[in-house]
Copies of this chain bind each other. A is one copy, B any other.
Amino acid sequence: MEFYSGYLFKGLSKPQLDVVARIAKECSVEIGNEIFKEGEEAEKLFILRKGAVELATTVEKGFELPIALLRTPGDIFGSSALVPPFKYNLSAYSTEGCILLTIGQTDLLGLMNEDHALERTVLMNLAAHFLDRLKETRDELKIHFKILLKSTRS
């Protein structure tokens, strides 16, 4: 169960994790592949089992801003598959050969419908995760404002 250690599954019991593991499928991706693209319909959630994945967002044609490099087994990406409007909000690339676990949106939402405690835990974790990323992104924005302030003053 070492691959179910990511933020989304925090607080789930061993039997709940077993049920989640049963709906996961394994796949491998060669180095340098696009796993999904920003804006695409998000139908699957991904768990990194082996390798490394870069998440990035397009700033303008030909320039992508890297947002995160995932390399810890258990790292989760593509979680916007669980939230309306169900579209990936970043692009994902394999920067090494990867083994991934995928969980279908319909399968996970189905599980959540059957087990309300699991549903609450997963949705709370998801909201907390997006709030964390929001705070992080605001902090980055603040750095830019500080640089602007400094240059205005000098």
Contact = CB atoms under 8 A, between A and B. Distances in A.
Copies in the complex: 2
A67 B140 CA distance: 14
Interface stretch (A16-24, A29-37, A58-66, A94-102): A58-66
Interface residues of A, number: 34
A51 to B, nearest CB: 25
Interface string A22-63: 000000000000000000000000000000000001011001
A50 to B, nearest CB: 28
Given A63-B149, A65-B145, A138 B57 contact: yes
A104 B37 CA distance: 40
B131 A89 contact: yes
Interface in A60-92: 60, 63, 65, 67, 80, 82-84, 89
The 5 closest A-B CB pairs, nearest first, are A130-B130, A123-B123, A127-B127, A144-B144, A137-B137
